[in-house]
Amino acid sequence: MLFLKRLIKNPKALGAVAPSSKALAEMVARHVRVSTETYVVEVGAGTGRFTRGLLDAGLNADRLIVVELDRELCQYLENNFPDITIIQGDATQLDQLLPPEVVCNVETIISGIPLINLNKEEQLDLVTAFQNTLSPTGHIIQFTYGPVSPLSHKKLGLVATRLGHVFRNVPPATVWSYTFYKGIIRQKRRRPMLIYFKFAQQKARQTFRKVREPFTIS
């Protein structure tokens, strides 16, 4: 009933017509990476289907942090998962919401945010916050209801891996894993003029070489 109530109020924020199934939660839990020294962060937890799946799979409650934007859903999660750290806030500010000892020490981020409902700038802000939060070996797990990646992973500097399909879900879902390479997003966001300068410098050198070629004495 809570899910239905939130769906009627803000269908774009939920991005689904029904809560995620137990089969989808189990699929996601199988691909979660965690150790006794790292954390798992779930964003856009909704009514806690994945939260319950992670705990049932053996994840320690002190290794799991849940971030939810909706106040009413956040209260529901706090009532049903009293042993877990629940944070109300915007996932695009994830690196600011989490405790300092957690930032850069997160091995898996599980995202239930409907990315296809976000524009390119919003996606970039979200993925940048994820990158600033993950450990160097960390990854993002995202599910979607479409056949293709919900993120423009190549443009965002991500390596995308399709983990599988879950047909026992309404609607059927596809689970993706994303990892970062070469810190492309962070560099583009923080030093865009430097990148442009280096590109212009490279083009000028190439042009200069072409001009010099006819005058080169062999």
Continuous H helices in 15-88: 22-30, 49-56, 71-80
pTM of the model: 0.76
pLDDT tens per residue across span 94-119: 999 999 999 999 999 999 888 888 88
Give the relative orientation of helices 71-80 and 2-9 as an angle to the nearest 10 degrees. Answer: 170
Q: How many domains does the chain have?
A: 2
Q: Rounded CA gap, 19 and 29, in Å?
A: 16
Res 215: pLDDT: 44
User: Is the predicted pLDDT of residue 15 greater than 50, yes or no?
Assistant: no
Q: What is the pLDDT of residue 146?
A: 81
Q: Is 159 helix (H, G, I), strand (E, B) or coil?
A: strand
Which amino acid would we find at residue 161? Answer: T
Confidence check: pLDDT of 128 > 70: yes
d(CA 62, CA 129): 22
Q: Are residues 36 and 78 in the same domain?
A: yes
pLDDT value of residue 176: 96
Residue 122 has pLDDT above 80, yes or no: yes
5-34 average pLDDT score: 70
Q: Could you give the CA distance from residue 95 to residue 212 in angstroms, rounded to a whole number? A: 50
Q: State residue 148 phi and psi, 5-degree precision.
A: -115, 170
| Amino acid type, 133 | T
pLDDT confidence tier of residue 206, bands split at 50, 70 and 90: low
Token pair in block for residue 17: 């017509």
- Residue 169: per-residue pLDDT: 87
The verdict on 159 and 196 lying in the same domain is no
- Do 199 and 177 fall within a single domain? no
Q: Contact 173/143 with Cβ under 8 angstroms?
A: yes
Query: Do strands 173-180 and 158-166 pair parallel, antiparallel, or not at all (unpaired)?
Result: antiparallel
Question: Does 34 share its domain with 63?
Answer: yes
Cis peptide before 147 (omega within 30 of 0): no
Is 35 within 8 Å of 27 (Cβ atoms)? no
What does the pLDDT read at residue 55? Answer: 95
Same domain membership, residue 172 and residue 202: no
Contact by Cβ (8 Å): 167, 175: no
Same domain, yes or no, for 79 and 161? yes
Cβ neighbour number for residue 24 with a 10 Å cutoff: 22
Of 132 and 152, the structure prediction assigns the larger pLDDT to 132
Name the residue range of residue 198's domain: 190-218
Q: Are residues 106 and 207 in the same domain?
A: no
With residues binned 3-state (H G I as helix, E B as strand, rest as coil), the percentages for the chain, rounded to 5, are 45, 20, 35
How much is the mean pLDDT over the chain?
Answer: 81
Confidence at residue 207, expressed as pLDDT on a 0 to 100 scale? 58
pLDDT in tens, 133-147: 999 999 999 998 888
pLDDT at 217: 41
Q: Using one digit for the tens of pLDDT, what is the confidence trace for 32-76?
A: 988 888 999 999 988 899 999 999 999 999 999 999 998 988 999
Question: Are both 166 and 206 inside the same structural domain?
Answer: no
pLDDT beyond 50 at 193: no
